[in-house]
Chain A
Amino acid sequence: MEWDWEFVWQIMPTLLEGFKITILATVLGAAVAAVLGLAIAIARRSPVTAISRTVGFICEFIRGTPLLVQLYFIFYVLPDIGIRLPPLVAGVIGIGLHYATYTAEVYRAGIENVPRGQWEAAKAANLTTRQAWIHVVLPQAVPPMIPALANYFIAMFKETPLLSAITVLELMNQAKSIANSNYRYIEPMTLVGVFFLAVSLVSVVGLRWLEERYARMDD
């Protein structure tokens, strides 16, 4: 079967529509992962062993099981207990939660890199724990982690095709439905690949820039 440019232009608008949803899911998922990851990282440092152990185990569990199954779990099991989520919301929660367990490790490393003296100084200046976190520790811990976080967000972008399995109409799903209704697989599937490759290559350049901008840990 030959590559057909006419067909490519014909399906482009539909694919772009899917691409918008892909971007939306990535951005929302990244927001969830960024916030939840920080919460997990802080909870794992909790002095109460029950909390840190439980959160630690849940993280290990989420990281040891496939995202696809977790998405199924959220999409199919939760409605049984009365929580009915639209596909996109379920997808964003699933992907955000999954990547939060990874970003939590980034936060952990960043927080541990803040010298002990900073904590002690915060205590000596009579700051509360909350103030110490917000005004002393996090402002120093976050900038060096930005490149590592961005790396995970790119990885997350690449995982969004999984959302098609729970009926989110993103790029992959649009491509599949085009392919199935026209019985032409080459163009839609290849274009999806090209889309992802293009965004990934551009984001690698962006990542290099972020690394140069932020990753200087020594000063």
Chain B
Amino acid sequence: MIDWSGYLTLILEGALVTLQLTVMGSALALVMAFLAGLGRLSRFFVVRALATTYIEFFRGTSIFVQLFWVYFVLPFAGLTLTPLQAGVLALGLNVGAYAAEVVRGAVKAVGREQTEACVALNLSRYQRMRHVILPQALPLMLPTFCNNAIELLKGTAVVSLISLTDLTFQAQVVRAQTGNTLIPFTTILILYFAMAWAISIGMRWLERRMSRSLDGVRT
């Protein structure tokens, strides 16, 4: 009889690492999404070109390749990262590129008359973005951001391949030590699913809160 309680602790520790990666990666992705998404709408050609290159590059190659590149190639350029840093960097940059397109789409979806009204009211570009466009664009972004966050959560499994002790890695450890495959893998599948579920519930709540303040604004 195998003593499962010890292994369960191991898996829960892995869940903590996965959670950490998801939260930190999402934070980085959010920053990158707004930087690159708004960058693509910039008046300056250089900013637009930079943002487009970033987005196309990170959407064109897979997260797996990017992660390995960050972890194995960057050290030769003199930048050595811990697996956790490499994971957060790769995940954040990758998902950020996808989310940037969401930001761009949502900002463009806000009606032209809003921009014209801002110009008529003599608001500065910053004021226009901050007080008029973004408050209306945010609720449009949230449902897709939710999907992006779940994609990021799923992406974290890949970091186990650069020896970060996340859920998937711990399941492999348990498999190697007990020889049992069904229990560890089923456990982590359920844990991942529970986390994805939690993300979508949280996002739905956020969406309700954010669109509440817009009641009556949009017809």
Task: Determine whether the beta carbon of A68 is less than 8 Å from that of B60.
Answer: no
CB atoms of A69 and B62 under 8 A apart = no
Residues of B within 8 A of A192 (CB): 65, 68
Across the interface, do B72 and A193 meet the contact criterion of CB distance under 8 Å? no
7 A-B pairs with C-beta separation under 8 A: A68-B160, A73-B189, A77-B181, A80-B182, A186-B76, A189-B65, A192-B65
B27 part of interface (Cβ distance < 8 Å) = no
> Which of chain A's residues 51-102 have a Cβ closer than 8 Å to chain B?
61, 63-70, 72-73, 76-77, 80
B interface residue count range (under 10 / 10 to 19 / 20 to 34 / 35 or more): 35 or more
Residues A126-158 near B (CB distance < 8 A): 158
Partner of A72, one of B60, B73, B76, B171: B171
B69 within 8 A of A: yes
Question: Hey, which chain B residues are within 8 Å of A69, CB to CB?
Answer: 157, 167-168, 171, 185, 188-189, 192
Note all chain A residues with C-beta closer than 8 A to B156.
66
B175 interface residue per 8 A CB criterion: yes
Shortest beta-carbon distance, A159 to chain B, in Å?
A: 6
Bound-state CA distance A66–B192 (Å) is 8
- Per-residue CB contact flags for chain B residues 44-81 toward chain A (1 = under 8 Å, else 0) read 00000000000011011110111011001100100000
Query: Across the interface, which residues of A come within 8 angstroms of B160, CB to CB?
Result: 68
Cβ–Cβ < 8 Å partners of B157 in chain A: 66-69
Contact A179 B72 (CB under 8 A): yes
A contact residues, range: 35 or more
Q: B60 near A200 (CB under 8 angstroms)?
A: yes
B196 / chain A contacts, CB cutoff of 8 Å: 63-65
| Residue B4 lies at the interface, judged by CB distance under 8 Å to chain A | no
Interface residues of A (CB under 8 A from B): 1, 61, 63-70, 72-73, 76-77, 80, 158-162, 165, 172, 176, 179, 185-186, 189-190, 192-193, 196-197, 200-201, 204
Question: In the bound complex, how far is the Cα of B186 from the Cα of A65, in angstroms?
Answer: 11
Is B128 an interface position by the 8 A CB rule? no
Instruction: Report whether B69 and A193 are in contact in the complex, using a CB–CB cutoff of 8 Å.
Output: yes
Contact with A along B120-161 (1 / 0, CB 8 A): 000000000000000000000000000000100111111011
Neighbour of B185 across the interface among A1, A61, A72, A165, CB < 8 A: A72
Name the residue of chain A whose CB is nearest to the CB of B66: A193
Bound-state Cα–Cα, A185 to B68, Å: 9
Residues of B within 8 A of A165 (CB): 161
Give every chain B residue within 8 A of A67 (Cβ-Cβ): 154, 157
For B189, give the chain A residue with the smallest CB separation.
A65
Residues on the A chain within 8 Å of B175, using CB: 76
